[in-house]
Amino acid sequence: GAGVSQSPSNKVTEKGKDVELRCDPISGHTALYWYRQSLGQGLEFLIYFQGNSAPDKSGLPSDRFSAERTGGSVSTLTIQRTQQEDSAVYLCASSPSAQRAGELFFGEGSRLTVL
Amino acid sequence: GESVGLHLPTLSVQEGDNSIINCAYSNSASDYFIWYKQESGKGPQFIIDIRSNMDKRQGQRVTVLLNKTVKHLSLQIAATQPGDSAVYFCAENRDTGRRALTFGSGTRLQVQP
């Protein structure tokens, strides 16, 4: 498809397990973002990739969270030793360039439930 | 502290009326503001943006107003339709080298038929 694709759409896991969430951005978009949205809340910034620059990891809530972006395209967000407070919708977005940083194209998110 | 927030968590309007969604920000250094619409089960969708050197910007049925004096942002939707029912977020982007948007907590717009 032409939009941002995320998988899985839903993930239920047990506390303490590791999870990986995948994001396929729009082809040609150089910027990629991960946000987290808890129920009824706004979006919390997690991490930002721009081209070949070092990622901005300032939003990651703990060292259990990490993300990588391979080949400037697909990104994976990994949460190790999941906790119940990690339950949220994890949204990925891409943007054509840093100069258009406000126009983010979001995927539909990966809903994570930690039991 | 720095924040982007909203005055009303839920706004209910009649179909055909105009809607106004408000947002306050506290950082005078903010120079770029964006409105997003999020329908149930979907990711946010870009609506309109405005830079701090402007007071008003119009799109299709939507207008964003920026009042830098009182650090206030609003989104006006003309002739509101049932398809406009969603949660609306304002967001800001400060040109500090970090290009990550800061989002407010959202306002739910309910359009009554």
- Provide DSSP, B25-94: E--TT--EEEEEEE-TTS--EEEEEEETT-SEEE-SSEEEEEETTTTEEEEEESS--GGG-EEEEEEE--
Amino acid letter, residue A107 = G
| DSSP assigned state of A56 | B
Q: Which of A26-30, B6-10, B27-31 has the lowest mean pLDDT?
A: B6-10
Whether residue B100 has pLDDT greater than 80: no
Whole-angstrom CA distances from A33 to A75, A109, B83, B89 are 9, 12, 27, 17
pLDDT tens, residue by residue, A12-53: 999 999 999 999 999 989 889 999 998 777 899 999 998 888
Average pLDDT of the residues in B16-41: 90
B44 lies within 8 A of chain A by CB? yes
Among chain A residues, CA nearest to B101: A102
Q: Taking an 8 Å Cβ-Cβ cutoff, which residues of chain A contact chain B?
A: 4, 31, 33, 35, 41-45, 48, 50, 56, 58-59, 91, 93, 98, 101-109
Among chain A residues, CA nearest to B89: A42
The pLDDT, as a whole number, for residue B2 is 37
Q: Do B44 and A106 touch (CB under 8 A)?
A: yes
d(C-alpha B100, C-alpha B20), whole Å: 26
The pLDDT, as a whole number, for residue B99 is 65
